Amino acid sequence: MCPTGRTLTSSSSFSDLRPAFDILDADRDGKISKDDLRAFYVGFSSSGADESLIRAMMSAADSNSDGFVEYHEFERVLACQNPSGVMEDVFKVMDRDGDGKLSHEDLKSYMNLAGFPASDDDIAGMIKLGGGDEAQGVDYAGLLKILAVDQAS
C-alpha cells in the first residue's frame, strides 16, 4: 500500500531505481538519511536545504520510522507517486544554471559531490549515452536514460 492509501497494481512497473537511490545516498551506507538529503541539496542550492521539505520527504518515505529510507521504501514511494516529479526535482537541482540542460560541468560537479569521481571521458560518455552532445549537454529525458529509469506507469 502506498503512503496515500492507494494500492499498487501490477501495472506499476519501474526498471531498477538503484542509480537514483545511490545518487541520494551520499555516504553510501545503503540508506538515505536526513544528512544525505541535506548534502544533496546543499551541493546545488546556494540557499541550502529546506528543513521542512527534508522532514516531509523523510516522513513520506520512512515507513518503518527508523529515521532512514531504505531502498525498498524508496522504491515503494516512487512506484506510488508520479516518479517524474521526483526525478524532475533531481534534474533541477543538478541543473545549476537552470537552462534545462545538464552541461559537462553540471554532471561532473554532481558526480564528485555524490562521491562518484568521474573523468572528463566518463562524463562525455554519460552525455552521449543520454543522447546529448558536449556542446549542448543533456536534457531531462537524457538524464533518465543515463540513470536507466523507466518512466512508464
d(CA 19, CA 114): 12
pLDDT at 53: 76
Grid coordinates of 10 = 501490477
Give me the mean pLDDT over the 13-31 stretch: 79
- State what percent of residues in the chain have pLDDT above 90: 24
SS3 call for 147: helix
Grid coordinates of 18 = 538503484
Quickly state the pLDDT bin for 152 (edges 50, 70, 90). very low
Q: What are φ and ψ of residue 57, in 5° steps?
A: -65, -45
pLDDT at 69: 93
Least-confidence region, from 36-50, 56-70, 131-145? 36-50
Q: Are 92 and 86 in contact (CB under 8 A)?
A: no
Percent helix, strand, coil in the chain (nearest 5)? 50, 5, 45
d(CA 108, CA 67): 30
- Same topology between domain 14-81 and domain 84-147: yes
- Whether residue 130 is predicted with pLDDT greater than 60 in this model: the reply is yes
The domain limits of the chain are 14-81, 84-147
Q: pLDDT, tens digit, for every residue of 68-86?
A: 999 998 888 776 655 556 6
C-alpha closest to that of 72 among 38, 30, 121: 30
- Whether residue 20 is predicted with pLDDT greater than 70 in this model: the reply is yes
Query: CATH 3.30.70.270: does it fit domain 14-81?
Result: no
Query: CATH 1.10.238.10: does it fit domain 84-147?
Result: yes
Quickly state the pLDDT bin for 103 (edges 50, 70, 90). very high
pTM: 0.52
Q: Are 87 and 15 in contact (CB under 8 A)?
A: no
